[in-house]
């Protein structure tokens, strides 16, 4: 519903951007002022600016996937176009006020020509910068890095004194992320020789039909090598919902549930799904996968509280929790959890989002210690919405856990 209210804003901003583009093109050359040229420019601009909506309305298939992909690239570039124009307009207003205070309200023909030349140069520089940032963002989004953390848990690790956990999250399998990205991720995970692999939600991007090649994807993910296996919890996008520019539209019955094919996909991939449930691994440590806070999934009306998670556990053993959103850190720590593994934030994905995230989450990214508990949040292996990353990186996290073994 919020998307409906925002749509007029998006339309008005696009109209403004389009007319600013025409103004700049006209300043570049008189030929660009011809009606036929402006109509051609308008058609191209309309294609990009409406790609998200057209992709939303098209039936599932290759055409829809292509148009959605174009729309996602446009969304990232559009963010920087708007930021650049906002900065340019603010500078222009400041200059006008200064000129007005100095009594310079009229312009000579020479100053007009000079202003036109400066407009052309400034526009070219800004357009080149936006293009460079967008291209780099699209390339950067495909490079999966490795983040590494070392933590110490003051408990007996049973048969082990160390545990290597690889954390992945926010794969967002769909229009943006497919087989090639997953092959790279699996190869990098296996290179770490993990004891345990966990995927902290948003495995899918809302729409199962958008998957690149389900059979091939399951085969790729089945190739993850881990001593104790691969476990996962669901996130807020692991449900079947229509999505437009990041906003979801509920089904008629408003039930926020995963597509049964998603569950079967994970089973075929050899990934154990923990839906508000825990397991004792090797009689040494607990692993609990939380349901998503807002969209807990089938059969779960309300997810368990941190106290309920640990009330039947032997708290002398290490307790690990997979929770898609890094929430309730204090409550989890008080309940005896030792390591909370999450994602969701993407670390903002695009600058300045990585700056804003610091004001929205206690731990937007990285490793934070809350009392005795470590909260580790990854920026994710995939991406959501804009098909690029600027100021952030796609990654997997290697978490080396040292236990205090009793003598």
Q: Kindly report which listed range (101-110, 146-155, 288-297) carries the lowest average pLDDT score.
A: 101-110
Owner of token pair 């089945």: 222
**Helix axes 2-28 and 35-49, enclosed angle (nearest 10):** 150
pLDDT higher than threshold 90 for residue 60: no
- Kindly state the percentage of the chain with pLDDT values over 70: 93
DSSP 304: P
Q: How many CA atoms lie within 13 A of 247 on its CB side?
A: 11
- CA angle 37/82/352 to nearest 5° reads 150
Cross-strand pairs, 243: 248
Please name which of 202, 207, 216, 258 lies closest in space to residue 383, comparing C-alpha atoms: 202
Q: For residue 146, what are its two tokens?
A: 């490795």
93 alpha-carbon distance from chain centroid: 35
In 176-229, the DSSP E strands lie at 196-200
Task: Please give the average per-residue pLDDT across 75-96, as a whole number.
Answer: 91
What integer pLDDT is reported at residue 239 of this predicted model?
Answer: 86
Say whether pLDDT at 205 is over 80.
yes
Whether residue 302 is predicted with pLDDT greater than 90 in this model: the reply is no
- Rounded CA gap, 68 and 71, in Å? 5
Q: What local confidence, expressed as pLDDT, does residue 217 receive?
A: 98
Structural domains of the chain in order of their starting residue, each with its CATH number: 2-139 (no CATH), 145-403 (3.60.21.10)
Q: Left, alpha or beta for 404 (phi > 0: left; psi -120 to 50: alpha)?
A: beta
**Encoding tokens for residue 362?**
């206690």
Q: Among 53-62, 68-77, 219-228, 358-367, where is mean pLDDT lowest? A: 53-62
- Which positions ≥6 away from 258 have C-beta within 8 Å? 204, 234, 238, 239, 240, 297, 298
* Helix/strand/coil percentages in the chain, nearest 5: 45, 20, 35
Q: Is residue 141 predicted with pLDDT exceeding 80?
A: yes
Q: DSSP labels for 37-63?
A: HHHHHHHHHHHHHTHHHHHHHSPSSHH
Asked whether the predicted pLDDT for residue 31 surpasses 60, the reply is yes
Beta bridge partners of 257: none
- Selection from 333, 389, 28, 327 nearest residue 181 by Cα: 389
For residue 193, the 8-state DSSP code is -
312: how many CB neighbours lie within 10 A of its CB? 8
Q: Which of 33-42, 54-63, 98-107, 352-361 has the lowest mean pLDDT?
A: 98-107
Lowest mean pLDDT among 182-191, 292-301, 308-317: 292-301
More confident residue, 294 or 291: 291
Stated pTM of the model: 0.90
Rounded to an integer, what distance in angstroms lies between the CA atom of residue 120 and that of residue 127?
10
pLDDT at position 229 is 97
Q: Coil, strand or helix: which one is 253?
A: coil
State the pLDDT confidence band at 95, using cuts at 50, 70 and 90: confident
Tokens 């610091």 map to which residue?
A: 358
Question: Please, how many CA atoms are within 13 Å of residue 283, restricted to the half-sphere of its CB?
Answer: 1
Q: Which two tokens stand for residue 190?
A: 């296996």
Q: Which SS3 state, helix, strand or coil, does residue 11 take?
A: helix
Query: Closest by alpha carbon to 14, among 41, 45, 40, 43?
Result: 45
383 neighbors 181 (Cβ within 8 angstroms): no
Average pLDDT, rounded, for the chain: 91
Q: How confident is the model at residue 106 (pLDDT cuts 50, 70, 90)?
A: low
CA distance 391 to 300: 37
pLDDT digits (tens, 9 = 90+) for 226-256: 999 999 999 999 988 777 766 666 554 455 6
Distance, CA of 9 to CA of 182 (rounded, Å):
36
pLDDT at 116 over 90: no
Spatial contact of 60 and 209, defined as CB atoms under 8 Å apart: yes
Q: What percent of the chain has pLDDT over 90?
A: 73
386 pLDDT more than 80: yes
Pairwise CA distance, residues 156 & 405, whole Å: 5
Give the mean pLDDT of 358-366: 96
Q: How far apart are CA 284 and CA 262, in angstroms?
A: 30
Poorest-pLDDT segment among 58-62, 174-178, 379-383: 58-62
SS3 state of residue 268: helix
**pLDDT of 291 higher than 90:** yes
pLDDT at residue number 138: 96
């Amino acid at each position: 519903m919020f998307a409906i209210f925002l749509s007029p804003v998006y339309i008005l901003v696009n109209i403004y951007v389009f007319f600013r583009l025409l103004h700049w093109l006209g300043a570049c050359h008189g030929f660009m002022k011809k009606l036929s040229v402006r109509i051609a420019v308008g058609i191209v601009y309309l294609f990009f600016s409406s790609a998200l909506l057209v992709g939303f309305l098209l039936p599932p298939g290759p055409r829809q996937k292509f148009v959605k992909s174009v729309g996602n690239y446009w969304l990232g570039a559009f963010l920087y176009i708007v930021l650049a124009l906002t900065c340019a307009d603010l500078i222009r207003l400041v200059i006008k006020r200064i000129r007005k205070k100095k009594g310079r309200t009229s312009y000579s023909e020479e100053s007009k020509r000079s202003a036109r030349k400066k407009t052309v140069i400034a526009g070219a520089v800004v357009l080149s910068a936006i293009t460079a940032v967008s291209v780099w963002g699209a390339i950067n989004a495909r490079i999966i890095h490795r983040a590494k953390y070392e933590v110490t848990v003051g408990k007996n690790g049973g048969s082990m004194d160390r545990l290597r956990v690889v954390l992945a999250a926010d794969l967002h399998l769909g229009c943006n992320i497919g087989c090639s990205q997953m092959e790279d991720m699996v190869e990098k995970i296996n290179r770490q020789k993990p004891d345990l692999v966990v995927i902290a939600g948003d495995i899918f991007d809302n729409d199962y039909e958008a998957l690149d090649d389900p059979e091939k994807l399951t085969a790729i993910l089945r190739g993850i090598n881990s001593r104790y296996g691969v476990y996962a919890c669901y996130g807020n996008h692991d449900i079947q919902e229509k999505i437009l520019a990041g906003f979801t539209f509920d089904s008629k019955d408003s039930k926020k549930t995963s597509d049964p094919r998603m569950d079967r996909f994970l089973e075929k991939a050899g990934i154990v799904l923990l839906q508000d449930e825990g397991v004792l691994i090797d009689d040494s440590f607990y692993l609990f996968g939380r349901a998503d806070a807002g969209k807990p999934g089938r059969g779960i009306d309300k997810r368990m509280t941190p106290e309920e998670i640990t009330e039947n556990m032997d708290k002398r053993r290490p307790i690990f929790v997979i929770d898609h959103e890094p929430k309730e850190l204090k409550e989890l720590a008080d309940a005896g959890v030792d390591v909370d593994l999450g994602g969701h934030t993407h670390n903002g994905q695009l600058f300045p989002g990585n700056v804003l995230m610091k004001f929205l989450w206690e731990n937007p990214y990285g490793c934070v210690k809350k009392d005795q508990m470590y909260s580790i949040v990854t920026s994710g292996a995939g991406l959501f919405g804009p098909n690029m990353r600027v100021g952030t990186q796609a990654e997997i996290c290697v978490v080396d856990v040292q236990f205090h073994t009793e003598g």
